Structure 1
Amino acid sequence: MDLLSFTVLLSASLTLAQNQQPLYSTYAFNPLQHLAGIAPYFEPADPPRDPSPPQGCSVTRAAYLVRHAAINANDFDYEEYLEPFGKKLANTTVDWKERLTRTGKLEASQLGVQLSYRYPKLRLPKRVWTSSAERTTISAQSFIHGLEMIDDEIEMVTISESKKAGADSLTPYSSCPGYSSSAGSKQSSTYVKTYTAPILARFKSLAPAFNWTSDDVVGMQEWCGYDTVIRGSSPFCSPSLFRADEWLQFEYSQDIMYHYNTGYGQPLSGTIGFPWLNATLNTLSAPPSEDDQDIYVSFTHRELPPTVLVALGIFNNSESTGINNPNATMPLDRINYHRQWVSSYILPFLTNVAIEQMNCSASYGYENVTDPTFYRVVVNQSPQTLPDCYDGPLESCSASGMQKLVQKRGEMFGNFSAACGVTYDNTTDVLSIYSRNLTGRSVGK
């Protein structure tokens, strides 16, 4: 039996078994916005703040760190969940290499168009940087196609994903020996066993001949996301197959994993994310020259953006509690529905973290300040307030405050080589790709 037929039959059985919703119900739920790291790109508006600059402010420079766009499947998800479940139903001949989907290419191109509209007064970049994997380079190429006005205007600079590059990389976790890509799997598995138990009981009652496991449930929920970005829709997303609360449980299991893998539960997260933060502020705050850019955009993998958020101190569940114990905010036996660390909001495909430099000389109350330069962090088009600096218009951060914040973060996270336990030669604690005159290539149409 193929996947489509199986899910249609199971969904139909579950529909008959469930109670009908009352006619007056206005509840709506979209599982595609709760798929964590495999969610198709969307802008969650969390919080629902206006992405436009504050009144009287104008963006003068901006830097973006972008995760690659939607892919078929990553190796771990395919080997651990998708392939085993598919083989239970029938032999599969689908090629699930980590290739960018057509949807991914379109979304990356749309992001380029979006940025050109968002910053109409800024110069188009001369270069766009990307790590060397196929899915990141194709994302960068598609982005450039949407951004540039004339063919071959913008060069793509490829940065090797070396395991001995120190912090001078767009994949610094790869060159950090102390970091483990499997971190968080154990904690996530603990919760997976809890939330899948009643689902397994329901499925076994409907298809008792099928050897159901927790991995099958996770695999089916992951199929919803990957199937959608490949084919445009998926029967695995059916509300008759999984209820809304069960999608939230899947999402939380992924949040636990990312919390311990690249979030506040990972001691090295701030260390891995700080070099990009430091290099970006140095780049944006440097006196402009003819060779500089107004917009800096870099493409990477899903591991780097959340570590930058940790380095900035945002989306911290325990930030306002006065108790620095982030692990206590992610229990393994129940959902913390009030958490800030929601990976679907901060890590969908094509997730982007932006730091905008603004001139606020025309902003009421800030007209006569000595330095009208302010900074703002925007995640997937949603402005975020920095916990240590909010002295500007609409809680943006002053130039002096931003310098102090990054200096403080550098004292906490700046020693990359020592914190990561680097033993190879020629390591560095600094990301210098933006200040070096690296050669790129045109991508054409």
Structure 2
Amino acid sequence: MPFARSLLKISTILFAVALGLVIYQGSRYSSLFEGQSESPYFGRWKTWFSLSQSKVPGSKQSLEKGWNVIHHLGGNGPWIENTGEDADPNLAPPEGCSVDQVHLLSRHGERYPTPSAGSRHLQFLKRVEETGLPLNGSLEFLNDWAYFSNNPERDFGELTNTSPYAGTLGAFTTGVKFRTRYEDLIPRDSRTRLWASDSGRVIDTARHFASGFFGLDWESSGKAQLQIIPESFERGADTLTPGDTCLRYLEDPILGHDNGLEMLLQFQETYIPAIANRLIHEDNIGLSNLSNEEVYGMQEMCGFELMVRGTSPWCEIFTKQDWYNFEYARDLLLYYRAGPGNPYAGAMGWLWLNATTGLLHEGPMAGSIFLSFVHDGDIAPFLTALGVFTGDKELLPTTHIAAKREWRISPILPMGARVTLERLSCSPTHEDPQVLRGHVLSISLWNMSVNEAKK
């Protein structure tokens, strides 16, 4: 972990970094509006991440107690807090310490499908309609179901603004929660700058976050300024989206950007044909020759419909094992596209890490709040460069699920995921004069203890 070790050299009385990776855990779709169910963006304020921890009724799926499909959408679903037994109950700084600088690297909020994914969905639905035959069994709901966008040209790729999982709501509420924790760091006599890559959903996430963090008048009052960074090759190293500027990554046909898709396609072949066969034999002969792409698109629609309507019948037609397979397929996609399985990822992630390290060295004199908004494919290289995922000694296979893998997208990079680095200043008498504490709000596998950090 050469980059992590470089951070340890920061000469402050105490320096600690808290990695806050938003994780989600919540209710199944069929019970989101029943009984005690709540939006994940409402709830208690025990810590800055603590949201709704109320118990909700189970779904119609006959699965064991405690299993939840939202944990297995591979970054393709809404943000929900981690309320598992390994979740940190308290994120307060150690006694005698205070936060004097904070850095945020955030994925955009919940969104509609991208145009490419959405087009695949619509093509499949058109084929269903053109058969002129009613559907049966698991797919019977499609006889009366309508797609979750009536204006795809407007919606595709943009933040959702309805349901408990609205991307606009999530970004605003995240801003409020950051203000709750970091209000004392907001400069009173200068303007704070936010950075966003030049994508509509990323820019809108930054704007809604700023409204929650600084107030609705953040632009007119001069409290903050949003700087948009083009997602273009010409930016070189001066970018938030290094995957668009790394020439070898873009041009390498084997190990570059497209490697993730190739690995995804290989794994789809191991599990999707059996699903297609099952659905066809539920008296749906009109859908013969269901392709891997079409079945995968059905699984995608579960998460996307949740983020628009709060519920989705697509979540019900697949088994628990089907969702494990989908989750792993999504893991493979990002692992080989922009994560530890890609040879260029570490170099790309070094850019943000290096710039942030310099600011941490300078301390509050360089500023107190640094806020950046990007895509999941830009956060994955940073985590790779940081060396967080070192437990997977071999590359993830495409022939079967690597059950004990560390790299899992569902709990670390859902929509709205964010990485937070905190610089702590402590009293001279503090027992640990210089510490890097990496804390991931996930399962204990991601937690890096103080003793480990000192090595």
Using structure 1 for the length normalisation, give the TM-score. 0.73
CA distance in 2, matches of 1:378, 1:256: 24
User: How big is the shift at 1:154?
Assistant: 1.5
Q: Could you list the per-position Cα deviations for residues 108-145 of structure 1 after superposition, in whole angstroms to 9, with x for gaps in the alignment?
A: 01110111112243225711111111111111000001
CA distance in 2, matches of 1:27, 1:287: 47
User: How big is the shift at 1:48?
Assistant: 2.5
Aligned counterpart, 1:223: 301
Aligned counterpart, 1:31: 69
Contact 2:232/2:245 (<8 A) preserved: yes
Q: Which moved more, 1:183-192 or 1:124-133?
A: 124-133
Aligned counterpart, 2:247: 177
Q: Could you list the per-position Cα deviations for residues 300-351 of structure 1 after superposition, in whole angstroms to 9, with x for gaps in the alignment?
A: 1121101000000112333xxxxxx431xx1212111211100111211111
Aligned counterpart, 1:108: 171
Contact 1:358/1:375 (<8 A) preserved: no
Aligned counterpart, 1:86: 125
Match for residue 167 of structure 1 among 237, 240, 255: 237
Listed as ranges, the gaps of 5+ residues in structure 2 are 1-29, 31-59, 131-146, 251-256
User: How big is the shift at 1:155?
Assistant: 1.2
Q: Which amino acid aligns with 2:99?
A: V
Aligned counterpart, 1:285: 361
CA distance in 1, matches of 2:439, 2:228: 25
User: How big is the shift at 1:64?
Assistant: 0.8
Aligned counterpart, 1:147: 213
Contact 1:68/1:299 (<8 A) preserved: yes
Cα–Cα, structure 1 residues 362 and 58, in superposed 2: closer, same or farther, change >3 Å?
farther
CA distance in 1, matches of 2:116, 2:61: 38
User: How big is the shift at 1:20?
Assistant: 9.5
**SS of alignment partner, residue 370 of structure 2:** strand
Q: Which amino acid aligns with 1:209?
A: G
Alpha-carbon RMSD across the aligned residues, in angstroms, is: 2.8
Q: Which moved more, 1:60-69 or 1:180-189?
A: 180-189
**SS of alignment partner, residue 130 of structure 1:** strand
Give the aligned length.
356
Using structure 2 for the length normalisation, give the TM-score. 0.72
Aligned counterpart, 1:409: none
Of structures 1 and 2, the one scoring higher in RCO (CA 8 A, sep 6+) is 2
Q: Could you list the per-position Cα deviations for residues 223-268 of structure 1 after superposition, in whole angstroms to 9, with x for gaps in the alignment?
A: 0111111122111112xx1111211110001111111101111000
Listed as ranges, the gaps of 5+ residues in structure 1 are 1-7, 9-18, 319-324, 402-445
**SS of alignment partner, residue 391 of structure 2:** coil
Cα–Cα, structure 1 residues 161 and 150, in superposed 2: closer, same or farther, change >3 Å?
same
Aligned counterpart, 2:350: 274
Contact 1:385/1:396 (<8 A) preserved: no
Matched, 1:52 2:52: no
**SS of alignment partner, residue 405 of structure 2:** coil
**SS of alignment partner, residue 119 of structure 1:** helix
Contact 2:100/2:364 (<8 A) preserved: no
Aligned counterpart, 1:123: 186
Match for residue 196 of structure 1 among 268, 272, 289: 272
Match for residue 311 of structure 1 among 372, 385, 390: 385
Contact 1:45/1:382 (<8 A) preserved: no
Aligned counterpart, 2:158: 99
CA distance in 1, matches of 2:108, 2:194: 13
**SS of alignment partner, residue 299 of structure 1:** strand
